[in-house]
């Protein structure tokens, strides 16, 4: 039986935090701590933890759910389920963005609606949940929050860059051209924006590393081509 919860976000996560400072940290965007010597740290450390917890729990779930599939198929499913668009969609669905503490100027800029911010906050919340409530609470939350995304995967998805290359080849087009449009953020938490062009179309993706940004850019172009 779950204990009574004391806040909306704890109700979403299914856990009352004994260490409330972990929850506050998970919900603190780095913009809210700039220039402050006191108060909670940003959620970047917990995002690092949550990323690893999510990978483990999702791999466990996939192995249980698809006992006949091999590493390649399971890997493609995993990559999709932990991708930035899926994480941002889950975070938006559970209303995580409104709970984020961000700098006043960033609120006006719409930072709470950015996919990168939502995805990172979701991983940070999962990291905090794991540290405070343990693996069972984390597993319970993941299987509830990702249920729709998991059920939507009737077949193992293709890698977005591979799918884009096949799309181009079928139409007799040149190979996709990927370029780094910008690099922002501090050295320990960079953000890459990558563009991809092929057949007069363009896609854009932003992520914490170049490879992930390329995947998002390919996915963006393919979605626009449908």
Active site (catalytic) residues: 51, 123
Q: CA 64, CA 162: separation in Å to the nearest integer?
A: 27
110-131: b (≥16 Cβ within 10 Å) or e? ebbebbbbbbbbbbbbbbbbbb
Question: Under a CB-based contact definition with an 8 Å cutoff, are residues 46 and 128 in contact?
Answer: yes
Secondary structure of the chain as H, E, C letters? CCCCCCCHHHHHHCCCCCCHHHHHHHCECHHHCCCCCCCCCCCHHHHHHHHHHHHHHHHHHHHHHCCCCCHHHHHHHHHHHCCHHHHHHHHHHCCCHHHCECCHHHHHCCHHHCHHHHHHHHHHHHHHHHHHHCHHHHHHHHHHHCHHHHHCCCCCCCCHHHHHHHHHHHCCCCCCEEEEEEEECCCCCCEEEEEEEECCEEEEEEECCHHHHHHHHHHHHHHHHC
Name the one residue in this structure whose structure tokens are 């109700």: 11
């Amino acid at each position: 039986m779950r204990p009574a919860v004391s806040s909306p976000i704890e109700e979403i996560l299914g856990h009352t935090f004994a260490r409330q400072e972990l929850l506050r940290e998970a919900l603190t965007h780095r913009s809210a701590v700039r220039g402050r010597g006191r108060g909670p740290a940003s959620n970047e450390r917990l995002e690092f933890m949550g990323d690893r917890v999510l990978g483990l729990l999702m791999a466990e779930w996939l192995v249980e759910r698809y006992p006949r599939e091999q590493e390649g198929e399971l890997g493609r499913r995993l990559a999709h389920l932990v991708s930035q668009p899926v994480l941002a969609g889950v975070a938006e669905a559970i209303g995580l963005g409104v709970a984020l503490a961000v700098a006043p100027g960033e609120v006006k800029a719409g930072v709470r609606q950015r996919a990168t911010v939502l995805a990172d906050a979701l991983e940070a919340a999962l990291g905090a949940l794991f540290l405070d409530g343990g693996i069972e609470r984390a597993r319970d939350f993941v299987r509830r929050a990702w249920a729709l995304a998991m059920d939507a995967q009737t077949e193992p998805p293709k890698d977005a860059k591979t799918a884009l290359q096949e799309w181009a080849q079928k139409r007799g087009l040149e190979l996709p051209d990927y370029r780094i449009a910008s690099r922002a953020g501090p050295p320990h938490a960079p953000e890459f924006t990558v563009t991809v062009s092929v057949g007069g179309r363009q896609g854009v993706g932003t992520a914490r590393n170049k490879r992930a940004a390329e995947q998002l850019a390919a996915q963006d172009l393919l979605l626009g081509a449908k």
